[in-house]
Amino acid sequence: MKLQVLLGAVCVIFMFSMIPTSSSHNIACYFASWAVYRNLSGTFDVYNIDPHLCTHVYFAFVELNEDGSLLILDKWESNDENDGGHYHGFRNLANLRKVNPELKTLVSLGGWNAGSKNFSGVSADPVKRQRLVQDSMRLIEKYNFDGFDIDWEYPTLRDKAHPEDKENFVELLKDYSAALKPRGLLLSAALAGAVDKIDSAYFVEQVSEYLDLLNIMTYDYHGAFDDFVGHVAPLHASPLDYQHGRNSTYVAATAVDYWIYKNADPSKINMGLATYGRTFTLEDKTNNQLYAPVLGPGPAGPYSGLKGSLGYNEICEHYSGSDSVYYWDDDQKVPHRVVDDTWIGFEDERSIGYKVDFAVSKGLGGLMIWSLDTDDFLGTCGRRYPLVNAVKDRLKYWESQEKK
């Protein structure tokens, strides 16, 4: 069995090695390391990554302890040398550069489930900050990564308010920058995509100064945490949004414009794209408009197993049949599907095209993808990675236009 897995991985890498890539824009792609435990065709590991698809690939996540030491969440999956792991996630990710030397590989710290408490305590203490930076540097050097990413969701918010987080986040970035930059390594961060969170969490100009890449999470604007229907990642506001307070600002275009307005360097910004949808169970299945009342999240998918969320691979394979109705919202420039009483807001190749066009028009550095493991990475519904490839194809179009 192990021999079959190894031979399969070699064949995949050989196939990918024949695909050339070149882009003047970033395509920064995260993958969730826990996807290795997903069911059936949802199982995803480093071997599934096309080394030529993205310009940057992030391993998500490692975490931090209260004392500032780095916490490897799953030694079995990542195969830290102190454990008899099988998947060798860290080492295999770094080894993708043997196939594509232009690829940058990074490790991401934090994530939503990490919360804010330990970030808040560590960033406030210079000694703990240095311990975290030093542990991070050892991990980077051990596995020959190209940089480090911080996903603190979010300074000053969650786990009780700590107003000083806003300043201490800058201090944390400053310490990381001082360690990484002299070695030619990258520092990036996943950052909020809602105006109210941006104002609360960041001194934008200083954050932009210390980071090489600003990965703006322009998604999760709506979901089962709401009591009404809303799209996960609208590009622009619907007329209905203006009737519901701040929801008119919960759109990707406004987030990007606001980061730029607050003096972030556009060339460092990667606008986020979600390869998953947010779902609702409609209170009345004859009313499936925006802001329709809901009973709660939609049903869990067969691979991700999460109520209220479906990967694009689950949507295209299991929710696109004859019982599914496709809708396009020309105001928000996004699609949704309705299957009986389930409402699914998601991205497709058409909506991705509009977002890439917007990013190019703003002079952004590129796009960020969360995440590789919920795209149709096996090509069950057509070509492999249709959403990420839609990004790549549209960027190639714009780059060809620039050469004319």
373: three-class secondary structure by DSSP: helix
- Do residues 36 and 376 touch, judged by C-beta distance below 8 A? no
Residue 396: is it exposed, middle or buried by C-beta count within 10 angstroms (0-12/13-18/19+)?
middle
| Closest residue by Cα to residue 338 from 379, 292, 302 | 292
Catalytic residue, chosen from 66, 77, 102, 153, is: 153
| Closest residue by Cα to residue 313 from 265, 275, 370 | 275
From first CA to last CA, the distance across the chain in angstroms is 52
Handedness of CA 191, 194, 199, 201 (dihedral sign): negative
Residue 350, C-beta contacts closer than 8 angstroms, at least 6 positions apart: 328, 335
Q: Token digits for 10?
A: 């070699």
Report the distance separating Cα 346 and Cα 108, nearest Å.
25
Active site residue 153: yes
Residue 283, C-beta contacts closer than 8 angstroms, at least 6 positions apart: 292, 293, 294, 295
Check residue 185 and report its DSSP letter: -
Helix axes 165-180, 126-143, angle to 10 degrees: 40
Place of tokens 């689950």: 314
Residue 116 identity:
S
Report the distance separating Cα 161 and Cα 95, nearest Å.
41
Catalytic residues: 153
